[in-house]
Amino acid sequence: MNYLGLFGWLNGHEWIVLVVLGLLLFGRKLPGIARSLGQSVVEFKKGIKGVKDDSDAAASLPSQPQQVQHQAPASPVIDVTGSSKPAAEPKAGS
């Protein structure tokens, strides 16, 4: 189905009549709609700029990932005697 053919019957005079009817129906709301549309475009451009800045920052990082040294977690000391003294830490030499 050709949807573009739907608008083929509208010539210059018909468009003028439609615009006038639109202004009569929505005339008082148009400035607010235009203002909201303008603010939306500005926010969209700010968002696009932020994404572009983030991608540029990510591209400037070194291409090789840094190696992270993992430390083994310390084994927990379990006091089965019930004393309130903290367990002695193991010495570095042993």
Q: What is the pLDDT of residue 35?
A: 93
pLDDT at position 43 is 94
Mean pLDDT computed over 28-43: 91
> Tokens representing 94?
């042993």
Q: Against a cut of 0.75, is the pTM above it? A: no
Q: Is 64 exposed, middle or buried (0-12, 13-18, 19+ CB in 10 A)?
A: exposed
> In the structure, what pLDDT confidence band is assigned to residue 55 with cuts at 50, 70 and 90?
confident
Q: Please write the tens of the pLDDT for every residue from 57-74.
A: 777 766 665 666 767 666
* pLDDT higher than 70, residue 45: yes
Helices 12-26, 30-59: crossing angle, 10 deg rounding: 100
> b/e map of 30-39 (b: 16 or more CB within 10 Å)?
eeeeeeeeee
